[in-house]
C-alpha cells in the first residue's frame, strides 16, 4: 500500500502477460474525483489564454538570438502551439516507430519554399500524420539549420527531450505541459469556430446547428490528428441513404403532378425531410476518416459545448452520447454566456 495524492488510480499491478505494462483500477468516469480532475485540467488550459501572448513573444525572441538549445526549445514550443503536436518520447525497440515533436527526424520533414513544411510520420497509435503547414519564416529557417548535414534518420532536435520541453514550459507558466497546450488549442479552436459557423437564423433547425458543431469538431480532430479508417459499412450506408433520398424525390414529384392543394403540406414536410437527409449525408461523408470522439472525451472543455447547446437551444444529447452527458455532469450548470 502506498500514499500518493498526485494520482487518481486506486491500485496498479504489473501485467503478467506483457510484463512491461502496468494496469490500473481507475475511478469511474462519473465520480467526483474524476470530475475534479477534469475541471482542474480544463481550468489550467483556460488559464493559458492569459499567458499565451507572452509565451509567443518569448519563443520568437529566442529563435532570433538564443543559443542552439534555446532555439530548439523555442521551435518545439511553436510547433506544439501552432500544430498541436504531441510530445513524443523514448519507447521500447519492439514497439512501432511512432514519434512526436521531440523525436522528429530529418526524414520526416520536407521544405517547400518559401515557408511551407510537409510533415510525414507515424503518430500515436501508428496513425500517419501527413500534413502541410505554412509556418513563420523564422521557424522554417531554424528547422533548415537544424536539419543541415543530417541524415534522414538523425534527430532534428538533438539537444532536447520531452522532459526538457515541459520544464521549459513550466518556467513560462506554472503547470504548463505539452498536453495542456494541446487541450488549450483544441478548446480554443472549438470555441472560436462555433461562434463563427453556427447558424443564427430564427428558422435554423437543430440538424443544421448540429452539422455546424460537427464541422467545428472536425477541424479540432484534424488539428489533433485524430483519424480513423473508413468503416467497411460506410459505402453500404451511403448507398442506403441515397436510395432513401431518391424515393423521397420520387414521392415529391408524384405529389406535384397530382396538382392537389391538399398535397402542399405533404410536399413541404417531405422537402424539409429531404434537406435534413442531404445534410446528414454530406456530414457523414465528410467525417468518414475523422474521429470526433477522442477530442470530445479528452481535449474539449465540455462547458463550451453545454453553453453552446443552451445558447442555441440544442439538447446536449444531440452532440453528446449518454455516457458523455453523465461524464460531464459537472458542466451541465454552466451559463450560456460561458466563454473559454
Query: How many domains does the chain fold into?
Result: 3
Residues 26 and 124 in one domain: no
- On whether the CB atoms of residues 235 and 285 are closer than 8 A, the answer is no
Q: Around Cβ 65, how many Cβ atoms within 10 Å?
A: 8
299 assigned to active site = yes
Residue that finishes a domain, picked among 109, 138, 172: 172
pLDDT, residue 287, reads 78
Q: Report the alpha-carbon distance of residue 192 to residue 216 in Å, rounded.
A: 9
Spatial CA neighbour of 77 closest among 61, 96, 92, 94: 61
Residues 44 and 57 in one domain: no
Q: For residue 96, what pLDDT band results from cuts at 50, 70 and 90?
A: low
Residues 326 and 200 in one domain: yes
Q: Is 122 helix (H, G, I), strand (E, B) or coil?
A: strand
Helix 178-197 and helix 206-223, axial crossing angle in degrees, nearest 10: 150
Residues 196 and 104 in one domain: no
What is the phi/psi pair of residue 84, to 5°?
55, 40
Cell numbers that stand for 102 in this block: 521531440
- 223 in a domain, yes or no? yes
Helix 32-47 and helix 178-197, axial crossing angle in degrees, nearest 10: 80
- 77 in a domain, yes or no? yes
Q: Looking at the predicted structure, is the pLDDT value of residue 164 above 70? A: yes
What is the phi/psi pair of residue 171, to 5°?
-75, -20
- Tens digits of residue pLDDT in 269-278: 999 889 888 8
Q: Around Cβ 338, how many Cβ atoms within 10 Å?
A: 16
Of the ranges 7-16, 102-111, 199-208, the best mean pLDDT one: 102-111
Angle at alpha carbon of residue 146, lines to 144 and 148, rounded to 5°: 65
- Tens digits of residue pLDDT in 5-14: 888 889 999 8
- On whether the CB atoms of residues 311 and 14 are closer than 8 A, the answer is no
Q: Looking at the predicted structure, is the pLDDT value of residue 92 above 50? A: no
Average the pLDDT over 330-338 and give the result. Answer: 96
Residues 31 and 74 in one domain: no
- 79 in a domain, yes or no? yes
Residues 235 and 192 in one domain: yes
- 122 in a domain, yes or no? yes
- 4 in a domain, yes or no? no
CATH number for the domain harbouring residue 89: 3.90.15.10
Spatial CA neighbour of 136 closest among 66, 215, 214, 83: 83
pLDDT, residue 212, reads 93
Residues 77 and 196 in one domain: no
Residue that finishes a domain, picked among 139, 172, 205: 172
pLDDT, residue 89, reads 63
Residues 315 and 224 in one domain: yes
Q: Are strands 128-134 and 22-26 parallel, antiparallel or unpaired?
A: unpaired
Residues 142 and 255 in one domain: no
Q: Calculate the alpha carbon distances from 261 to 248, 249, 250, 257, 274 in Å.
A: 19, 19, 18, 11, 20
* Strand (E) or helix (H) holding 14: strand 9-14
Residues 109 and 168 in one domain: yes
Average the pLDDT over 33-46 and give the result. Answer: 92
- On whether the CB atoms of residues 123 and 100 are closer than 8 A, the answer is yes
pLDDT, residue 94, reads 46
Q: Report the alpha-carbon distance of residue 129 to residue 138 in Å, rounded.
A: 23
pLDDT, residue 21, reads 80
pLDDT, residue 51, reads 95
Cell numbers that stand for 270 in this block: 417531405
The phi-psi region of residue 120 (left if phi > 0; otherwise alpha if psi is between -120 and 50; otherwise beta) is beta
Residues 59 and 39 in one domain: no
pLDDT, residue 20, reads 75
- Which stretches of 86-144 are assigned E, i.e. beta strand? 109-112, 116-122, 128-134
Question: Domain limits at 215?
Answer: 185-331
- 339 in a domain, yes or no? no
Q: Is 140 helix (H, G, I), strand (E, B) or coil?
A: helix
Maximum distance among all alpha carbons in the chain?
Answer: 81
- 1 in a domain, yes or no? no
CATH number for the domain harbouring residue 293: 1.10.132.10
pLDDT, residue 317, reads 95
Residue that finishes a domain, picked among 172, 193, 214: 172
Residues 167 and 194 in one domain: no
What is the residue whose three cell numbers read 442555441?
312
Catalytic residue among 42, 213, 299, 320: 299
- 3 in a domain, yes or no? no
Amino acid at each position: 500500500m502506498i500514499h500518493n495524492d498526485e494520482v487518481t488510480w486506486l491500485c496498479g499491478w504489473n501485467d503478467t502477460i506483457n510484463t512491461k505494462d502496468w494496469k490500473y483500477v481507475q475511478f469511474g468516469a462519473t465520480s467526483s474525483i474524476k470530475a475534479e480532475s477534469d475541471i482542474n485540467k480544463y481550468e489550467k488550459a483556460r488559464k493559458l489564454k492569459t499567458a499565451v501572448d507572452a509565451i509567443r513573444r518569448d519563443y520568437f525572441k529566442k529563435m532570433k538570438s538564443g543559443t542552439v538549445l534555446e532555439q530548439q526549445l523555442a521551435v518545439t514550443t511553436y510547433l506544439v502551439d501552432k500544430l498541436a503536436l504531441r510530445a513524443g518520447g523514448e519507447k521500447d525497440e519492439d514497439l512501432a516507430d511512432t514519434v512526436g515533436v521531440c523525436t522528429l527526424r530529418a526524414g520526416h520533414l520536407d521544405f517547400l519554399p518559401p515557408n511551407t513544411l510537409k510533415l510525414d510520420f507515424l503518430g500515436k497509435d501508428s496513425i500517419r500524420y501527413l500534413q502541410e503547414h505554412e509556418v513563420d519564416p523564422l521557424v522554417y529557417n531554424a528547422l533548415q539549420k537544424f536539419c543541415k548535414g543530417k541524415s534522414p534518420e538523425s534527430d532534428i532536435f538533438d539537444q532536447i527531450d520531452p522532459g526538457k520541453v515541459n520544464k521549459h514550459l513550466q518556467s513560462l507558466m506554472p503547470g504548463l505541459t505539452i498536453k495542456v497546450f494541446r487541450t488549450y488549442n483544441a478548446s480554443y479552436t472549438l470555441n472560436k469556430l462555433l461562434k463563427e459557423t453556427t447558424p443564427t437564423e430564427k428558422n435554423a433547425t437543430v440538424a443544421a446547428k448540429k452539422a455546424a458543431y460537427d464541422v467545428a469538431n472536425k477541424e479540432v480532430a484534424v488539428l489533433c490528428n485524430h483519424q480513423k479508417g473508413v468503416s467497411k459499412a460506410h459505402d453500404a450506408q451511403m448507398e442506403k441513404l441515397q436510395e432513401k433520398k431518391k424515393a423521397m424525390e420520387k414521392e415529391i414529384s408524384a405529389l406535384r403532378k397530382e396538382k392537389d392543394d391538399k398535397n402542399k403540406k405533404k410536399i413541404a414536410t417531405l422537402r424539409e425531410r429531404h434537406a435534413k437527409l442531404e445534410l446528414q449525408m454530406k456530414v457523414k461523408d465528410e467525417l468518414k476518416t475523422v474521429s470526433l470522439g477522442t477530442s470530445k472525451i479528452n481535449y474539449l472543455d465540455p462547458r463550451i459545448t453545454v453553453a453552446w447547446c443552451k445558447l442555441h437551444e440544442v439538447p446536449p444529447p444531440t452532440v453528446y452520447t449518454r455516457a458523455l452527458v453523465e461524464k460531464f455532469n459537472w458542466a451541465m450548470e454552466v451559463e450560456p454566456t460561458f466563454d473559454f
